[in-house]
Amino acid sequence: MVKHTIEVFTSGCPLCQEAVKIVQDVKCPRCTLTEYNILQKQENLKRAKEYGVKAVPSIIVDGKLAIEGKPTAQQVKRVLGL
């Protein structure tokens, strides 16, 4: 399996937490997952803007915006190549 770097941008809402849970459940054990709450730190919001994030939750895979909005497990599997 390919190791991916996964970043999830959230705002702490239930939908965002559900997105993080989906990614946690689907990703391989070698993949790294980092959650960035854009409301907690200004640097998180700045980082999200650098990726072009316009909505949360948003999922970045290996430095590229992969999914905006609430994902399905199938979408996450597809972008991770699973």
Which tokens belong to 39? Answer: 């409301």
Given this model, what pLDDT does residue 13 score? 94
Given this model, what pLDDT does residue 82 score? 87
Helix (H, G, I), strand (E, B) or coil at 67: strand
DSSP 14-42: HHHHHHHHHHHHHS-TTSEEEEEETTT-H
Q: Please state the pTM of the whole predicted model.
A: 0.93
Contact 57, 8 (CB under 8 A): yes
Mean pLDDT of the chain: 95
Given this model, what pLDDT does residue 1 score? 65
Q: Which residues of the chain have pLDDT under 70?
A: 1
CATH classification number, 5-80, choose in 3.40.718.10, 3.40.50.1000, 3.40.30.10, 1.20.120.420: 3.40.30.10
